Structure formats: C-alpha cells, structure tokens
Amino acid sequence: AENEQPWGTPCTQLLVFVATPGCDGFPSLDSKEGYKLSVSEGFLLLSADAVWGALRGLETFSQLVGRDENGTYYINKTEIVDFPRFPHRGLLLDTSRHYLPLRAILETLDVMAYNKFNVFHWHIVDDPSFPYESLTFPELSKQGAFNAMTHVYTASDVQTVIEYARLRGIRVIAEFDTPGHTLSWGPGAPGLLTPCYLGKDPSGTYGPINPILNSTYQFVTSLFQEVSSVFPDFFLHLGGDEVDFTCWKSNPKIRAFMKEMGFGEDYKKLESFYIQRLLDIISSLGKGYIVWQEVFDNGVKVRPDTIIHVWKNSMPYPQEMANVTKAGYRALLSAPWYLNHISYGQDWMAAYQVEPLKFEGVPEQKDRVIGGEACMWGEYVDATNLAPRLW
C-alpha cells in the first residue's frame, strides 16, 4: 500500500491497428471512419478498418487525456466504439466575397479535424472575385481576382490545401458555381456572360453565363477538364443557385433562342438546358456532382446519383428534404446551418437542436440523407474574424 502509485500503471504506447491499407489514397464518401478504442491497464489499442477511422480515433484519444493539478497526464480506463452517423459532414468556406489567405484555410482544416468534419466545401469563386489560378485560362484570375498577385490561389496553394486536408481525412469538394454567380468570370472570359440589354442596346452590364452559345460549352468543357484533374475527389459542386433571369429576358438573341426551342416564357427551361449540358460534360469527365436545390426544384434532368444540396428556408426545409429524397436523390442539409447569419447569444443551441431526419418520409428516404454542411458565406467574413465567427 505504501508504494501505491496515485495513478495506475504508466502507459507507454497507443497501438494503432488498421485493417485495410489506404495511407496514400484520398478519403471518399464511402470511406470507413469507424474505430474502436480500448484503454486499460498497460494496454492501449486503437483499431480501425481504415486509416480514416484511425484519424478519428486519435482525435478522440487526445480528448481523453487529462492533466491533474500536479501536471501528471492521465487517462481513464475506457472502451469506445465509434462511427459517424452521417458520412458527409462538411464545412463551406467562401473565398470569393473575401479572399482567405492560405493560412486561414489550413487553420480551418485543423479545427475541422478536431470536430471530425470530413468535407471541405470550397466555394472558391463567385460574383465578387475569381481567385482560382487556372492554367488553361490564366486571364480568369488575372482579370477577376481582387488582386492578381496577392489574392489568388496558385496551383501549388490548391495542392497544399488538398494534401493538408487529406492528412486529416478531409475531402476537398470544389464548387465552381454556374450559370449565376459568375460576374467575376466575365473580365477574363469575354463573351462568356450574357450581355444585358436596355431596350435595343446592350446596357454594358452582364448577367449569368450565356447558355445559347457553343463557345460557352467549349469553355466550360475545358475549364472543368482542368478542375476535374486538379481536384481528386469524385464529386464536384456545380452550384446552379439563384439564377436571375432578368438579363436573359432582356437579351434579344436569347429571346429568339427561347422561341426556337419552344421554351415559351419559361426561363427555367433555359436554365435546365444549360445545366443539363453541364452535367453531361461533368459526367463524361468521370465525376459525380452536387448541386444546389434549385436545380432539382426547377425540374432539371439529373443523374440518379446526383446529390441535392438543400439550403433555402423559403419553404420549410424538411419539406424540401422530403421532396428530394422522395424523388430518389441523395440530400445534403445546410438550410438551418448558415453560420454567417450571426445573432446575439448562444445560437449554437439552435444549430445543435436540428434533427436532419425530421421530415415526412419512409426509411429509404431517410437513408438518402448523407449528411450536411455548416456554411460560412463570406459577405462579412475575412481572416480578421473567420475563426471566432465559425468556432
């Protein structure tokens, strides 16, 4: 009794056992993230099917280690069996409304790992700026970035992000949102955007991507060829949200096209026309795609393995989740998790209390909900306030 240690047996190692190799691969939607952690006297074992589970287990292990008031590190006897409820647990960062320096992105990836997030949804370009340095179309960032020297992501930056993420079991899903949200594409790709008209004359302003020109589809093909090879994940996010039809309506050539195609006055049909061709291009490149809910809402014909991203609150989102999954598509939930919409007090509770499967539907539908994403849109966010706003 005299020699009794205040703490039990000293532990010298955590053994990590991984059943299936895969150290050099990229995480995917099907990655196995389950792990078992066994801590007892003189024996600490973390076992997982795949390395991704080992990463999750390491994080948990690190959270179990405590320190007493004498500074001694300790851990309690523990048994843990863990696996994620949803396979897609994402975070959206917007680097177009405000440029985010590499460091801010990498720091975010670290904190994502602390919280077992596994998807970085990189909303990399949008109306205000185009920071993505394309090798096929260098003019896009040269003309479209806030500053072509300082506010861009070079090819090497992008690779840094992808590898940093991979080492943390995080997938990087890039979003090149079209045909709306593309104003910054215009300066570097003349002729890509629709010229808006005031009566008979061009007004000088531009709208969404011009869906009636062949050059558009050539451009899109080339760009996405590059994007598909740069970003290794199977999925690309293609956007497709908030397409404003005003500019299209004002353009006489477009109106003529609408007539030719028999679309009448239904510009949703024109939007679908574009999206469908885009989706075909992406498919032919061997990628899968995620789209914002408008693509589904507007009746675009999409492949059955499309993932629909539910973000709007105009209709109660559980209704949309029901509709999307009923139609057989997989769904991602973001609507209640727009973290850029700050408010006073402990608003984390509202986010926490969301139950993603709380909607009318049969079990098969519920199975189609693959997860969700917290979104940090960048209108009011940059490196000076990103971290405390997000975490």
Partner 1 sequence: SRRAMGRAMGLAGVLVGLFLVPAVLVSTSLRHGAPRAEPAPEPAERELASGAVPEDSLWPLPQWLRTSRRQLQLAPARFQLVHGAGSSAGPACGLLQDAFRRYYEYMFGQSRRRRGRRPLGARADPELSQLQVVIESRDPGCHSYPHLASNEAYHLTVTEPVAVLKANEVWGALRGLETFSQLVHEDDYGSFLVNESEINDFPRFAHRGILLDTSRHYLPLKSILTNLDAMAFNKFNVLHWHIVDDQSFPYQSIYFPELSDKGAYSYNHIYTPTDIRLVIEYARLRGIRVIPEFDTPGHTQSWGKGQKGLLTPCYSGEQPTGSFGPVNPILNTTYNFMTKFFKEISSVFPDAYIHLGGDEVNFDCWKSNPEVKEFMKKQGFGIDYAKLESYYIQKILNIVSSYDKGYMVWQEVFDNKAQLKPETVVQVWMENNYAHELSSVTGAGFTAILAAPWYLDYISYGQDWKKYYSVEPLNFPGSEKQKKLLIGGEACLWGEFVDATNLTPRLWPRASAVGERLWSNWNVTNLQDAYKRLTNHRCRML
- 148: CB partners within 8 A, 6+ apart: 141, 142
- 26: CB partners within 8 A, 6+ apart: 166, 171, 232, 233
Among 345, 349, 352, 363, binds partner 1 (CB under 8 A): 345
CA-CA-CA-CA dihedral for 353, 354, 359, 363, to nearest 10 = -90
Query: Scanning residues 191 to 230, which ones bind partner 1 (CB under 8 A)?
Result: none
Q: Does 7 bind partner 1 (CB under 8 A)?
A: no
Q: Which stretch binds partner 1 (CB under 8 A): 76-84, 155-163, 271-279, 341-349?
A: 341-349
The tokens for 9 are 């047996």
Q: Does 340 bind partner 1 (CB under 8 A)?
A: yes
139, 185 contact by CB (below 8 A): no
Among 5, 229, 343, 353, binds partner 1 (CB under 8 A): 343
In one-letter notation, the amino acid at residue 76 is N
Three-class DSSP category at 121: strand
Among 244, 341, 362, 364, binds partner 1 (CB under 8 A): 341
Q: Does 344 bind partner 1 (CB under 8 A)?
A: yes
88, 237 contact by CB (below 8 A): no
| Candidate list 242, 360, 373, 379, residue with the active-site label | 242
Count of residues engaged in binding partner 1, rule: CB under 8 A: 13
257-274 in b/e form (b: 16+ CB < 10 A) is bbeeeebeeebebbbbbb
Q: Does 60 bind partner 1 (CB under 8 A)?
A: no
Name the strand (E) or helix (H) holding 172: strand 171-178
- 121: CB partners within 8 A, 6+ apart: 90, 91, 92, 93, 173, 175, 237, 373, 375
Does residue 163 have an active-site annotation? no
Query: Scanning residues 238 to 257, which ones bind partner 1 (CB under 8 A)?
Result: none
Query: In the complex, what is the shortest distance from the CB of residue 384 to partner 1, in angstroms, rounded to a whole number?
Result: 5
Nearest CA-CA partner of 105 in 122, 118, 88, 89: 122
Query: In the complex, what is the shortest distance from the CB of residue 348 to partner 1, in angstroms, rounded to a whole number?
Result: 11
Query: In the complex, what is the shortest distance from the CB of residue 388 to partner 1, in angstroms, rounded to a whole number?
Result: 3
- CB closer to partner 1, 344 vs 352: 344
Query: In the complex, what is the shortest distance from the CB of residue 346 to partner 1, in angstroms, rounded to a whole number?
Result: 8
- CB closer to partner 1, 280 vs 382: 382
Query: In the complex, what is the shortest distance from the CB of residue 380 to partner 1, in angstroms, rounded to a whole number?
Result: 7
User: Which residue numbers are catalytic?
Assistant: 242
Binding site for partner 1 (CB under 8 A): 340-346, 380, 384-385, 387-389
